[in-house]
Amino acid sequence: MKRRHARTRNLLKRSKTTAAGMCYVESCTIQKGITVGTNHFADRLTGAIREKRTPLIVGLDPVYENLPPAILKQPGFSDGSSCAACVDAISEFGRKVIRAVAPHVPAVKINIAYFERYLWDGVEAYYNLVQEAHGHGLLVIGDVKRGDIGHTSTQYALGNLADCKWQDTDTTTGPDAITINTYFGIDGITPFMDVARVQGKGAFALLRTSNASAGQIQEIPAADGRPVFLHVAELIEKWGGTSRGQCGFNSLGAVVGATSGTAIAQIRQAMPHTLFLIPGIGAQGGSLADCVPAFNADGQGAVISASRSIIFAHRESRYADIPSAQWTTAVQRAVVETKAQIADAIKAFQ
């Protein structure tokens, strides 16, 4: 596979660049190096959820050692001590997962950490999979968890969220939304919201995460006795209020772990216009019953992300009847079954 400086799929219409370095696409002005989008992220995401009739999204967290034998045994993929072999293997795996789940879900969440460990080739593989997902009609959430003080956040926003078009490169689309760090406050959030506003993108700010030790910080009681995460929830709702779509939700969402339990209902009360990205079901043990208060009567308001329980379904005993070479069938069955479980949980709640 050709990697470094590879030509990725051009998913945007070619732009015309003036001598001054300003670009125009479909009559929309582009700041130097940044494309202007025309659609609101929350409207696009809720529309995709309606189209696929599910809020389930699939997380792509490829671990080389856990890849299906049918991938690892392919020529050029079997040497786990070779960075190139590992990148080629997880890239092939990622492409096949995307193609398997595309008919069933509105979006994928790609975790950049599983690619960055392979340095520049891994980062290029990440962006290639973003293009692959877009090519199959999927929205992409880049799980990058970036954030810093204002000036540095601007660079993170340009490098991780924006669709950049340099005069000496092909057009490569960034993800439709990314996860960001809330801890720096509004000056760390604003640069991401600026890109989101200009390009029709979104962001999900960390709020109540799914890791076991999250409560050490997020549940500290504030002066009024309420946990810190509820105060942060109110801030995220306020910050996103200037970016509300026609669907009634803001382009600034929140990451709310499925392991948060009954706190999800409290958080929803505090932020009625905020989309939730809910990780933690499946392998992390989050409860669907606890997740359903995140949804409104129309089944909107959140996406539920499942990763290992779907992409590594070939390792589950319940799919042992599926031949090893047909591992994508296990992925598809896991997606369909998880969709049904979520639909049943939402229906029971309503």
Partners of 277 in beta bridges: 255, 303
* Burial (CB count <10 Å: 0-12, 13-18, 19+), residue 49: buried
> Choosing from 52, 96, 145, 201, which is the catalytic residue?
145
Helix H or strand E encompassing 100? helix 83-101
Among 155, 146, 150, 219, CA closest to 179 = 146
In the chain, the DSSP E strands lie at 16-17, 23-25, 28-30, 56-60, 107-111, 139-146, 177-180, 202-208, 252-256, 276-278, 302-306
Pairwise CA distance, residues 236 & 242, whole Å: 11
Could you give the residue ranges of the DSSP H alpha helices within 9-80? 41-52, 69-72
**Which residues, in sequence order, are bridge partners of residue 206?**
255
Tokens of 126: 């990440």
In the block, tokens 């599910």 appear at: 54
Q: How far apart are CA 236 and CA 231, in angstroms?
A: 9
d(CA 76, CA 71): 10
What is the C-alpha R_g of the chain?
20
Torsion of CA 102, 104, 106, 112, to 10 degrees: -50
114: nearest Cα among 143, 72, 76, 77: 143
Catalytic, 145? Answer yes
Tell me how far apart the alpha carbons of residues 254 and 203 are, in angstroms, rounded to a whole number: 8
| Residue partners of 115: CB distance under 8 A and separation at least 6 | 87, 90, 122, 123, 125, 126
Active site residues per annotation: 145
